[in-house]
Structure 1
Amino acid sequence: MDTKKLRQKILDLAIHGKLVPQDPNDEPASVLLERIKAEKERLIKEGKIKRSKKRTKTSDTPHYENVPFEIPDNWEWCKLGDIVDFQGGYAYKSNTYVNQSDWQVIRIGNVKNDNLVLDTQPVFVEEVIGRETKKYLLQKDDILFTMTGTKGKRDYFYSVKVPSVQKKLLLNQRVGCLRRFSSEVNIDFLCFALKGGYVLDAIFSTETGNVSQGNIGSENTLNLNIAIPPLAEQRRIVSEIERWFSLIDIMENGKQDLQTTIKQAKNKILDLAIHGKLVLQDPNDEPASELLKRINPKAEITCDNAQYEKIPENWCVCKLVDICSFLSRGKSPKYSEYDKTYPVFAQKCNLKDGGISLEQARFLDPSTINKWNEVYKLQTGDILVNSTGTGTVGRTRLFNANCLGNYPFVVPDSHVSVVRVVKSICPQYVYAYISSDSIQQYIEENLAGSTNQKELYIGVLENMHIFLPPLAEQYRIVTKIEKLFSSLDNIQKALEV
């Protein structure tokens, strides 16, 4: 179930007047708006707020045929500027920031949907600056919203109400503040209304900016059409939304717990597999030591060693280099900006969530094709290991040329190590072995380089010990892994529907 879409559906039902029933005994919203209008006029006369000259006046509230949708009889359309005032932020200079004070500057990164983040990379100014700019001091129940983001991606206009906090919060530029004229508008209802689909469509239709940066202006924000219910219904709507959202939170937490359990189950399956505990041994299978002697007579074979007493008797231990070859990692190839014939497999082709993809691959310059002989062309069954960078080093995927389109061939770049298993060994078993938690930990512990740039040397892979079963058991293990993983994947897909 897509819980994000479910939340949006609940919000849209709420602000269309379809989430809770109307009560004919409620005071109509039109009466409420008249009182708010009077309160606004009082604040203007006292000089506490300014009258906007650009925005449509309250008395010019559009007729039904000019508004987004039909609303219940006791609701009323208004402009956002009829019920709130806008306050822009101040451009605090970074050279005035201090490590700690009671005056915290609220920047765009602090404002998320329904979450004001105060503890992540906080920024403060000294008290003297805070007092000089107290015009930008936030109040409890102000609504903050982000006014800048990525053009065309709707990754802003996030809104959140200001909670009661100990610190004094100052408004930075490109964060807007909406402050009610009267408490007769439920602040939580207004926060929910600003997240409604029709409101988002309307505000992003006014987006300005350059190719990469999008902006939303204060006047367009204040001119948003907002459907206002009676105050009593606003409260009922908020209670119902919160009830539904609480249930969705439980669902999401359950999904996260199940996702974690699925990941742990896969790790356990691999651990059992590489220790000979996933499938039964067959005494009729040729011992792995005999298989290894045929493959590599010079291999140093370990059998029945007390150090490896946890593996079955007909298994043996050898080094990865005894059963695999490793493509040399040279310089990065020369790339073509136009020819899309010969993909180059890079780190980002090993997808974070599993599998591989050439969607983000770059392409080989055709003039250099002769330099890439058969040794460097990837083959089905090759094991691809990210070998440089941060966070993704050691990520391992199995290459299948048949699943990546009709390319003549694919070659790796210098940041991907290629482990090629000899024909007498099951590559899927070796892939499962390297993917297991214990081997991934071994790789992590043997990385070279700095914190910002880690590197996995080929020698670490070559000298890695591998628990090798008889060939027939290798295939039984792989079949069992695939069957169990398929069942877990089906559960995972069901969570995403």
Structure 2
Amino acid sequence: MDTKKLRQKILDLAIRGKLVPQDPNDEPASVLLERIKAEKERLIKEGKIKRSKKTAKTSDTPHYENVPFEIPGNWVWTTLGNIGIWQSGGTPSRSNKSYYGGNIPWLKTGDLNDGLITNIPESITEEAVANSSAKINPTGSVLMAMYGATIGKLGILTFPATTNQACCACIEYYAITQYYLFYFLLSHRDIFIAKGGGGAQPNISKEIIVNTAIPLPPLPEQERIIIEIERWFAFIDEIEQSKTDLQFIVKKTKSKILDLAIHGKLVPQDPNDEPASELLKRINPKAEITCDNAHYPKVWQKTILGEIFNHNTGKTLNSSNKEGIMKDYLTTSNVYWNKFDFSVIKQMPYKVSELDKCTVTKGDLLVCEGGDIGRAAIWNYDFDICIQNHIHRLRPKGELCVAFYYYILLYLKEKNLIGGKGIGLLGLSSNALHKIEVPLPPIEEQYRIIQKIEELYSYFDNIQKALEA
């Protein structure tokens, strides 16, 4: 379930008058709008606000041909400029240290959280307000970002505060509830973003905001709409929390599957399997056979990667050396966990003498030396490719289930034993890779383990996909 789209659908229904039924006993919004007009005239006469630049002949309601959609008969179209007083802020000079660190909160658009603003890290002084375009906005002001990546981001002040010039504030609203205004602005975010245009610094102006058409319901219906929106949003919050909880459970369960697999507890041992000590002798006659096997089943053998895999890194790119055959090669940016990204494939020259060391063939295990240290994938393609020096190529010295050792690397990475406090803090060197301790189960059991891992992972991956749909 796409909860983001569901929230937007609730908001769309709300501002179209389709979320709650209309009540014929509600005073029509047109009467409400006339009261707004009378109230504004009174404030203009008292000198508390200035008259809008629009002419006296301009209607407070948009022409029917200019409205975005139909609304109920007791609603009315107006503009954001008609239902409130809007102002933007300013940034006091940064070169004047006496302007900062005062007792007046100063909000930047990054502080907006689409909810109640309860904390603003930065503050300015009264002197800064007096000598800049920063203005104090009262408690309850509805704020909206106008610049950059935060366009449309919202907040409601729970205390008086100033803002920078990238923020617009509705400091007083007439015959419209605070939260109806807030939810309308939230529903309109994508439109504001579109009006901001592209470029490195998209932005909208206060003029765009105040001239935006808004459908105005009767006051009692505004209250009913808010209650219904918040009821639905609380329900969606529960869905999202359940999804988050389930995603966490899926992740922990998959991690537990790996833990059981690596320690010989995922599938039962078969007494008919050849002991791993015999397998190790065949893979590498020089390998040490140890009895120190406390963490694994008795038929398993503890060893190190370098005893059972041949490994090396690829070629270092040298722009001055152009001798050789141009070949495609993989970088660490092409290697992801159990998959490859072929969107950008580079080439460099390889000498014939370098190809054996630097060529990857089907079944090789590739491990990143840098970047996301230890990230690994098995090359399961029928065509060969070359590698550069920040990728380790691991090729079995004998009969091994390579996928089992891919999952060991994944397990070590999840436990922060590669690229963390353990092996290879700054990079996974060939020496560090060589010495990584690994278990060696009987070959038949290696394949049974992988079959069970992939069976269980497929089940949990399907759950994950359903949660993300």
TM-score normalised to structure 2 length: 0.89
CA distance 1:438–1:204, shift in 2 (3 Å): closer
1:328 aligns with 2:323: no
Report how far residue 201 of structure 1 moved: 5.2
Query: Where does 1:390-405 land on structure 2 (aligned, <5 Å)?
Result: 392-401=372-381
2:144 alignment partner in structure 1: 145
SS in 2 for 1:53: coil
- How many residues end up aligned between the 2 structures? 462
Which whole-Å CA distance do the structure 1 matches of 2:66 and 2:194 have between them? Answer: 16
Tell me what 1:338 maps to. Answer: none
Equivalent residue in structure 1 for 2:276, among 269, 275, 288: 288
Quick one: structure 1 residues 435 and 181, their matched pair in 2 at CA, closer, same or farther if it must change by over 3 Å? Answer: closer
Shift of 1:214: 1.0
Q: Which amino acid aligns with 2:143?
A: L
Question: Contact 1:96/1:125 (CA < 8 Å) preserved in 2?
Answer: no
- Secondary structure at 1:321 match in 2: helix
Distance of 1:357 and 1:247 partners within structure 2: 39
Deviations along 1:361-405, whole A, 9 cap, x unmatched?
34224x55868614323333333333334xx33333334336xxx
Alignment of 1:296-307 (within 5 A): 296-303=284-291, 305=292
**SS in structure 2 of the partner of residue 442 of structure 1:** coil
Secondary structure of 1:194's match?
helix
SS at match of 2:417: helix
Cα deviation code 1:258-311 (max 9, x no counterpart): 1111111011111101111111111111111111111111112223x2xx3231
Is the Cα contact below 8 Å between 1:343 and 1:364 reproduced in 2?
A: yes
The residue number in structure 1 matching 2:152 is: 157
CA distance in 2: counterparts of 1:445 and 1:79, whole angstroms? 59
Residues 3-42 of structure 1, C-alpha deviations (whole Å, 9 max, x = no match): 1111111111111110000000001111111111222223
Is 1:456 aligned to 2:428, yes or no?
yes
Aligned partner of residue 416 in structure 2, secondary structure: helix
Displacement of 1:481 after TM fit?
Answer: 0.2
Find out whether 1:107 has 2:87 as its counterpart. Answer: no
Equivalent residue, structure 1, for 2:346: 363
Pairwise CA distance, 1:100: 5.3
Question: Secondary structure of the equivalent of 1:215?
Answer: coil
Seen in structure 2, the aligned counterparts of structure 1 residues 348 and 286 have a Cα distance that, compared at 3 Å, is: same
Structure 1 CA distance for aligned equivalents of residues 318 and 39 of structure 2: 70
2:357 — aligned with what?
375
Residue of 248, 251, 260 corresponding to 1:260: 248
Counterpart residue number, 2:331: 346
Structure 2: which 5+ runs fail to align? 321-325
Q: Which moved more, 1:461-470 or 1:88-97?
A: 88-97
Distance 1:262 1:447 in 2: 27
Q: Which amino acid aligns with 2:151?
A: Y
After superposition, where does 1:14-413 map in structure 2 within 5 Å?
A: 14-53=14-53, 59=59, 61-96=61-96, 101-114=102-115, 116=117, 118=119, 122-126=121-125, 128-130=127-129, 132-133=131-132, 136-150=135-149, 156-162=151-157, 164-165=158-159, 169-182=161-174, 184-196=175-187, 199-200=188-189, 202-208=191-197, 211-303=199-291, 305=292, 308-328=293-313, 330-332=315-317, 344-351=329-336, 355-358=338-341, 360-365=343-348, 367=349, 373-389=355-371, 392-401=372-381, 409-413=384-388
Residues 216, 429 of structure 1: CA spacing in aligned structure 2 closer, same or farther, 3 A cutoff?
Answer: same
- C-alpha distance in 1 between matches for 2:100 and 2:437: 50
The amino acid that maps onto 2:422 is N
Residue 378 of structure 2 aligns to which amino acid in structure 1? L
Q: Residues of 2 paired with 1:145 and 1:31: CA distance? A: 28
The 8 Å contact of residues 313 and 391 in structure 2, kept in 1 or not, is answered as: no
Q: Distance in 1 between matches of 2:47 and 2:308?
A: 83
Which SS does the other structure have where 2:302 is aligned? strand
2:215 partner SS: strand
User: Could you tell me how far 1:139 is from its partner in structure 2?
Assistant: 1.6
CA RMSD of aligned residues (A): 2.9
Alpha-carbon distance in 2 for matches of 1:265, 1:492: 12
Instruction: Give the Cα separation in 1 of the matches to 2:408 and 2:124.
Output: 54
What's 2:421 paired with? 445
Task: Give the whole-Å Cα distance in 2 for the aligned partners of 1:117 and 1:252.
Answer: 24
